[in-house]
Amino acid sequence: MKKYQDLLRDVLENGTKKDDRTGTGTISVFGRQFRCDLNEGFPLLTTKKVHFKSVVNELLWFLSGSTNINDLEATIWDEWALEDGELGPVYGKQWTAWETKDGKTINQIDYVVDLLKNNPTSRRILFHGWNVEYLPDEKLSPQENARQGKMALPPCHLLYQFQVMDNKLNLMCTIRSNDLFLGNPFNTAQAALWVHMLAQQCDLEVGELIMSIGDAHIYSNHIDQVKEQLSRDPRALPKLKLKRKPASIYDYKLEDFELEGYEPHPPIKAPVAI
Question: For residue 262, which of 55, 57, 76 has the smallest C-alpha distance?
Answer: 55
Residue type, 29: V
What residues are designated binding site for dUMP?
A: 21, 123-124, 176-179, 187, 217-219
Residue 256 main-chain phi, psi, to 5 deg = -80, -15
Binding residues: 21, 51, 123-124, 176-179, 187, 217-219, 273
Rounded to the nearest angstrom, the gap between the alpha carbon of residue 128 and the centroid of all alpha carbons in its chain is 12
202 labelled catalytic: no
Task: Tell me the HSE value of 106 on the side-chain side, using a 13 A CA sphere.
Answer: 13
* C-alpha to C-alpha distance for 203 and 23, rounded to whole angstroms: 47
CA distances from 27 to 185, 229, 266 (A): 18, 17, 25
Distances (CA, A) of 245 to 142, 197, 241: 38, 9, 11
Comparing C-alpha atoms, which of 187, 81, 89 is closest to residue 132? 89
Active site residues: 156
